[in-house]
Structure 1
Protein backbone atom coordinates (compact mmCIF):
# COMPACT_ATOMS: atom_id res chain seq x y z
CA UNK A 1 0.00 0.00 0.00
CA UNK A 2 1.32 3.18 -0.94
CA UNK A 3 0.07 6.39 0.33
CA UNK A 4 0.27 9.02 -2.15
CA UNK A 5 -0.77 12.10 -0.43
CA UNK A 6 0.02 14.82 -2.71
CA UNK A 7 -0.42 18.11 -1.08
CA UNK A 8 -1.27 20.69 -3.56
CA UNK A 9 -1.64 24.22 -2.46
CA UNK A 10 -3.80 26.35 -4.58
CA UNK A 11 -2.60 29.84 -4.89
CA UNK A 12 -5.41 32.35 -4.65
CA UNK A 13 -6.10 34.18 -7.85
CA UNK A 14 -5.26 37.83 -7.87
CA UNK A 15 -8.31 40.09 -8.07
CA UNK A 16 -8.57 41.97 -11.28
CA UNK A 17 -8.07 45.73 -11.17
CA UNK A 18 -10.22 46.21 -14.24
CA UNK A 19 -13.44 47.12 -12.32
CA UNK A 20 -11.53 49.71 -10.30
CA UNK A 21 -10.06 51.28 -13.42
CA UNK A 22 -13.44 51.31 -15.15
CA UNK A 23 -15.09 52.90 -12.09
CA UNK A 24 -12.42 55.59 -11.88
CA UNK A 25 -12.73 56.37 -15.59
CA UNK A 26 -16.53 56.63 -15.35
CA UNK A 27 -16.27 58.90 -12.31
CA UNK A 28 -13.89 61.23 -14.17
CA UNK A 29 -16.08 61.29 -17.26
CA UNK A 30 -19.21 61.92 -15.17
CA UNK A 31 -17.52 64.70 -13.20
CA UNK A 32 -16.23 66.35 -16.36
CA UNK A 33 -19.63 66.06 -18.04
CA UNK A 34 -21.39 67.52 -15.02
CA UNK A 35 -18.97 70.45 -14.89
CA UNK A 36 -19.46 71.10 -18.60
CA UNK A 37 -23.26 70.92 -18.29
CA UNK A 38 -23.31 73.49 -15.48
CA UNK A 39 -20.63 75.74 -16.97
CA UNK A 40 -22.12 75.80 -20.46
CA UNK A 41 -25.61 76.52 -19.19
CA UNK A 42 -27.21 73.30 -20.37
CA UNK A 43 -28.36 72.51 -16.86
CA UNK A 44 -29.49 75.91 -15.56
CA UNK A 45 -30.18 77.76 -18.80
CA UNK A 46 -27.41 80.36 -18.79
CA UNK A 47 -24.32 80.67 -20.89
CA UNK A 48 -20.91 81.77 -19.67
CA UNK A 49 -21.14 85.02 -21.64
CA UNK A 50 -24.55 85.70 -20.14
CA UNK A 51 -23.19 84.83 -16.70
CA UNK A 52 -20.37 87.35 -17.16
CA UNK A 53 -22.85 90.04 -18.22
CA UNK A 54 -25.03 89.20 -15.22
CA UNK A 55 -22.02 89.39 -12.91
CA UNK A 56 -21.16 92.83 -14.30
CA UNK A 57 -24.72 94.06 -13.77
CA UNK A 58 -24.75 92.61 -10.25
CA UNK A 59 -21.65 94.65 -9.41
CA UNK A 60 -23.42 97.86 -10.41
CA UNK A 61 -24.70 99.58 -7.26
CA UNK A 62 -28.43 99.68 -6.76
CA UNK A 63 -30.12 102.96 -6.12
CA UNK A 64 -30.39 103.68 -2.42
CA UNK A 65 -33.90 103.88 -1.01
CA UNK A 66 -35.26 107.37 -0.47
CA UNK A 67 -35.17 107.34 3.32
CA UNK A 68 -34.22 109.67 6.12
CA UNK A 69 -33.35 109.10 9.74
CA UNK A 70 -34.92 110.46 12.87
CA UNK A 71 -32.46 110.45 15.76
CA UNK A 72 -33.81 109.67 19.21
CA UNK A 73 -31.97 111.37 22.03
CA UNK A 74 -29.92 108.96 24.16
CA UNK A 75 -31.53 108.10 27.46
CA UNK A 76 -30.63 106.09 30.52
CA UNK A 77 -33.07 103.52 31.88
CA UNK A 78 -32.95 101.89 35.29
CA UNK A 79 -33.61 98.16 35.08
CA UNK A 80 -35.81 96.11 37.45
CA UNK A 81 -33.20 93.57 38.55
CA UNK A 82 -31.06 93.67 41.68
CA UNK A 83 -27.96 92.51 39.81
CA UNK A 84 -24.73 94.44 39.38
CA UNK A 85 -25.89 95.93 36.08
CA UNK A 86 -28.84 98.16 36.78
CA UNK A 87 -28.58 100.96 34.19
CA UNK A 88 -28.98 100.85 30.43
CA UNK A 89 -27.83 103.65 28.16
CA UNK A 90 -29.81 103.52 24.93
CA UNK A 91 -29.76 105.56 21.71
CA UNK A 92 -31.43 104.78 18.39
CA UNK A 93 -32.39 106.17 15.01
CA UNK A 94 -35.52 105.44 13.04
CA UNK A 95 -35.35 104.74 9.32
CA UNK A 96 -38.25 106.63 7.76
CA UNK A 97 -39.36 107.23 4.14
CA UNK A 98 -38.65 110.87 3.22
CA UNK A 99 -42.34 111.71 2.81
CA UNK A 100 -43.05 110.73 6.44
CA UNK A 101 -40.08 112.41 8.16
CA UNK A 102 -42.09 115.37 9.43
CA UNK A 103 -44.91 113.18 10.77
CA UNK A 104 -42.52 110.95 12.69
CA UNK A 105 -40.65 113.97 14.09
CA UNK A 106 -43.96 115.25 15.52
CA UNK A 107 -44.61 112.03 17.48
CA UNK A 108 -41.01 111.57 18.66
CA UNK A 109 -41.89 112.27 22.34
CA UNK A 110 -44.48 109.48 22.21
CA UNK A 111 -41.93 107.12 20.62
CA UNK A 112 -39.39 107.85 23.37
CA UNK A 113 -42.11 107.29 25.98
CA UNK A 114 -43.06 103.90 24.52
CA UNK A 115 -39.42 102.77 24.31
CA UNK A 116 -38.66 104.06 27.79
CA UNK A 117 -41.63 102.17 29.26
CA UNK A 118 -40.69 98.97 27.45
CA UNK A 119 -37.02 99.11 28.45
CA UNK A 120 -37.84 99.88 32.10
CA UNK A 121 -39.90 96.68 32.28
CA UNK A 122 -36.87 94.58 31.35
CA UNK A 123 -34.44 93.02 33.79
CA UNK A 124 -30.69 92.71 33.35
CA UNK A 125 -31.12 88.97 32.68
CA UNK A 126 -33.39 89.80 29.70
CA UNK A 127 -30.65 91.91 28.17
CA UNK A 128 -27.52 89.87 28.92
CA UNK A 129 -28.19 86.91 26.62
CA UNK A 130 -26.28 86.94 23.29
CA UNK A 131 -29.39 87.13 21.10
CA UNK A 132 -31.24 89.61 23.29
CA UNK A 133 -30.52 92.66 21.16
CA UNK A 134 -32.13 91.10 18.10
CA UNK A 135 -35.31 90.26 20.02
CA UNK A 136 -35.41 93.61 21.82
CA UNK A 137 -34.92 95.49 18.57
CA UNK A 138 -37.83 93.64 16.96
CA UNK A 139 -40.05 94.33 19.97
CA UNK A 140 -39.13 98.01 20.02
CA UNK A 141 -39.67 98.38 16.26
CA UNK A 142 -43.12 96.83 16.58
CA UNK A 143 -44.04 99.25 19.37
CA UNK A 144 -42.79 102.23 17.37
CA UNK A 145 -44.77 101.08 14.33
CA UNK A 146 -47.91 100.88 16.48
CA UNK A 147 -47.40 104.51 17.53
CA UNK A 148 -46.50 105.87 14.07
CA UNK A 149 -48.16 103.46 11.68
CA UNK A 150 -46.35 100.53 10.07
CA UNK A 151 -45.61 102.27 6.76
CA UNK A 152 -44.02 105.32 8.41
CA UNK A 153 -41.09 103.62 10.18
CA UNK A 154 -39.16 101.00 8.24
CA UNK A 155 -36.50 100.07 10.78
CA UNK A 156 -35.07 100.88 14.18
CA UNK A 157 -31.29 101.20 14.24
CA UNK A 158 -29.65 100.77 17.63
CA UNK A 159 -26.79 103.25 17.99
CA UNK A 160 -25.96 102.72 21.67
CA UNK A 161 -26.84 99.84 23.98
CA UNK A 162 -24.63 99.93 27.06
CA UNK A 163 -25.40 98.00 30.23
CA UNK A 164 -23.67 99.22 33.36
Structure 2
Protein backbone atom coordinates (compact mmCIF):
# COMPACT_ATOMS: atom_id res chain seq x y z
CA UNK A 1 0.00 0.00 0.00
CA UNK A 2 2.30 2.69 1.04
CA UNK A 3 5.50 2.26 -0.81
CA UNK A 4 7.21 5.24 0.74
CA UNK A 5 10.50 4.44 2.30
CA UNK A 6 11.16 5.38 5.92
CA UNK A 7 14.63 6.63 5.04
CA UNK A 8 14.61 8.18 1.63
CA UNK A 9 17.85 8.29 -0.28
CA UNK A 10 19.94 11.37 0.50
CA UNK A 11 19.91 14.11 -2.02
CA UNK A 12 23.04 15.94 -3.10
CA UNK A 13 22.78 18.76 -0.48
CA UNK A 14 21.89 16.44 2.41
CA UNK A 15 24.93 14.23 2.11
CA UNK A 16 27.29 17.14 2.81
CA UNK A 17 25.57 18.03 6.16
CA UNK A 18 26.49 14.84 8.02
CA UNK A 19 30.31 15.33 8.17
CA UNK A 20 29.93 18.97 9.37
CA UNK A 21 28.05 17.89 12.50
CA UNK A 22 30.93 15.66 13.65
CA UNK A 23 33.39 18.56 13.30
CA UNK A 24 31.21 20.71 15.60
CA UNK A 25 31.87 18.39 18.55
CA UNK A 26 35.63 18.63 18.03
CA UNK A 27 35.41 22.40 17.81
CA UNK A 28 33.40 22.51 21.06
CA UNK A 29 35.94 20.30 22.85
CA UNK A 30 38.76 22.64 21.81
CA UNK A 31 37.03 26.02 22.16
CA UNK A 32 35.39 25.44 25.55
CA UNK A 33 38.66 24.98 27.55
CA UNK A 34 40.25 27.92 25.73
CA UNK A 35 37.32 30.17 26.61
CA UNK A 36 37.34 28.99 30.24
CA UNK A 37 41.07 29.69 30.59
CA UNK A 38 40.74 33.12 28.99
CA UNK A 39 37.81 34.03 31.24
CA UNK A 40 39.60 32.82 34.36
CA UNK A 41 42.75 34.74 33.43
CA UNK A 42 40.77 37.92 32.82
CA UNK A 43 39.00 37.57 36.16
CA UNK A 44 42.31 36.97 37.96
CA UNK A 45 43.80 40.07 36.31
CA UNK A 46 40.90 42.34 37.27
CA UNK A 47 40.81 41.00 40.83
CA UNK A 48 44.55 41.65 41.20
CA UNK A 49 45.45 38.01 41.82
CA UNK A 50 48.30 38.02 39.32
CA UNK A 51 51.37 39.59 40.97
CA UNK A 52 53.43 42.07 38.97
CA UNK A 53 50.71 43.00 36.49
CA UNK A 54 49.12 46.40 36.62
CA UNK A 55 51.93 48.05 38.58
CA UNK A 56 53.31 51.30 37.33
CA UNK A 57 56.86 51.19 35.98
CA UNK A 58 59.51 52.68 38.25
CA UNK A 59 59.91 56.43 37.90
CA UNK A 60 62.86 57.78 35.98
CA UNK A 61 65.59 59.52 37.99
CA UNK A 62 64.70 62.97 36.65
CA UNK A 63 60.92 62.59 37.14
CA UNK A 64 59.29 63.98 40.29
CA UNK A 65 58.39 61.37 42.89
CA UNK A 66 54.75 60.65 43.69
CA UNK A 67 53.53 62.34 46.88
CA UNK A 68 53.65 60.22 50.01
CA UNK A 69 50.04 59.34 50.93
CA UNK A 70 50.65 57.37 54.12
CA UNK A 71 48.44 58.36 57.06
CA UNK A 72 49.88 60.99 59.38
CA UNK A 73 48.42 61.67 62.83
CA UNK A 74 48.45 65.21 64.19
CA UNK A 75 47.83 65.62 67.92
CA UNK A 76 45.41 68.36 68.91
CA UNK A 77 45.79 70.24 72.16
CA UNK A 78 43.43 69.23 74.94
CA UNK A 79 40.12 71.07 74.62
CA UNK A 80 37.95 71.81 77.66
CA UNK A 81 34.59 73.48 77.13
CA UNK A 82 31.40 74.00 79.08
CA UNK A 83 28.35 72.27 77.63
CA UNK A 84 24.95 73.82 77.00
CA UNK A 85 23.34 72.35 80.11
CA UNK A 86 19.99 73.53 81.45
CA UNK A 87 19.69 74.54 85.07
CA UNK A 88 22.22 75.90 87.52
CA UNK A 89 24.66 73.01 87.42
CA UNK A 90 27.46 73.46 84.88
CA UNK A 91 28.57 70.56 82.70
CA UNK A 92 31.97 70.32 81.05
CA UNK A 93 33.65 68.21 78.38
CA UNK A 94 37.35 67.51 78.01
CA UNK A 95 38.52 66.06 74.69
CA UNK A 96 41.95 64.79 73.75
CA UNK A 97 42.18 63.74 70.12
CA UNK A 98 44.31 63.19 67.05
CA UNK A 99 43.47 64.04 63.47
CA UNK A 100 44.38 61.65 60.65
CA UNK A 101 45.43 63.15 57.31
CA UNK A 102 46.98 61.63 54.18
CA UNK A 103 50.60 62.66 53.74
CA UNK A 104 53.02 65.16 55.20
CA UNK A 105 51.76 68.01 53.02
CA UNK A 106 48.27 67.74 54.52
CA UNK A 107 49.78 67.48 58.02
CA UNK A 108 51.69 70.73 57.46
CA UNK A 109 48.52 72.46 56.22
CA UNK A 110 46.63 71.20 59.27
CA UNK A 111 49.36 72.45 61.64
CA UNK A 112 49.19 75.87 59.99
CA UNK A 113 45.41 75.95 60.48
CA UNK A 114 45.49 74.57 64.05
CA UNK A 115 44.15 77.75 65.76
CA UNK A 116 41.14 77.74 63.41
CA UNK A 117 40.56 74.00 64.02
CA UNK A 118 40.64 74.43 67.82
CA UNK A 119 38.28 77.43 67.58
CA UNK A 120 35.74 75.52 65.46
CA UNK A 121 35.92 72.47 67.74
CA UNK A 122 35.48 74.55 70.91
CA UNK A 123 32.56 76.52 69.46
CA UNK A 124 30.81 73.31 68.42
CA UNK A 125 31.41 71.61 71.79
CA UNK A 126 29.90 74.58 73.67
CA UNK A 127 26.61 74.13 71.80
CA UNK A 128 26.27 70.44 72.73
CA UNK A 129 24.04 69.23 75.53
CA UNK A 130 25.21 66.39 77.82
CA UNK A 131 22.51 64.06 76.41
CA UNK A 132 23.90 64.61 72.87
CA UNK A 133 27.05 62.75 73.91
CA UNK A 134 25.44 59.67 75.45
CA UNK A 135 26.35 56.26 74.08
CA UNK A 136 28.32 55.22 71.05
CA UNK A 137 25.87 56.95 68.70
CA UNK A 138 26.62 60.28 70.39
CA UNK A 139 30.36 59.71 70.05
CA UNK A 140 29.92 58.78 66.39
CA UNK A 141 27.92 61.96 65.68
CA UNK A 142 30.58 64.00 67.50
CA UNK A 143 33.32 62.42 65.35
CA UNK A 144 31.44 63.11 62.10
CA UNK A 145 30.81 66.75 63.03
CA UNK A 146 34.45 67.31 64.04
CA UNK A 147 35.69 65.75 60.78
CA UNK A 148 33.47 68.12 58.79
CA UNK A 149 34.70 71.14 60.75
CA UNK A 150 38.35 70.09 60.46
CA UNK A 151 37.98 69.73 56.68
CA UNK A 152 36.57 73.26 56.48
CA UNK A 153 39.34 74.72 58.64
CA UNK A 154 42.26 72.89 57.01
CA UNK A 155 41.17 73.10 53.35
CA UNK A 156 42.68 72.17 50.88
CA UNK A 157 44.07 69.46 53.19
CA UNK A 158 41.71 66.51 53.57
CA UNK A 159 41.03 65.12 57.06
CA UNK A 160 40.37 61.36 57.05
CA UNK A 161 39.39 60.80 60.67
CA UNK A 162 39.28 62.22 64.17
CA UNK A 163 40.52 59.74 66.76
CA UNK A 164 39.59 60.29 70.39
CA UNK A 165 42.26 59.64 72.99
CA UNK A 166 40.03 60.77 75.86
CA UNK A 167 36.51 62.11 76.26
CA UNK A 168 35.38 63.16 79.72
CA UNK A 169 31.93 64.64 80.39
CA UNK A 170 31.28 66.03 83.88
Same fold (TM over 0.5): yes
Q: Does the 8 Å contact 2:73/2:99 carry over to 1?
A: yes
Ranges of 4+ aligned residues in structure 1 off by more than 3 Å:
82-85
Q: Which runs of 5+ in 2 are unaligned?
A: 1-38, 50-68
Q: What's the counterpart of residue 75 of structure 2?
A: 71
CA separation in 2, counterparts of 1:71 and 1:130? 22
Give the RMSD, CA atoms, in angstroms.
3.1
CA separation in 2, counterparts of 1:158 and 1:150? 23
Q: Does the 8 Å contact 1:85/1:163 carry over to 2?
A: no
| Aligned 1:77-116 pairs, distance under 5 A | 77-82=81-86, 86-96=91-101, 97-116=103-122
CA separation in 2, counterparts of 1:82 and 1:132? 18
CA separation in 2, counterparts of 1:134 and 1:90? 14
1:49-71 deviations in Å (ceiling 9; x for gaps): x9xxx7xxxxxxxxxx6121111
User: What secondary structure, in the 3-state scheme, does the structure 2 residue paired with 1:88 have?
Assistant: strand
**Greater Cα offset, 111-120 or 69-78:** 69-78
Calculate the TM-score normalised by the size of structure 2: 0.55
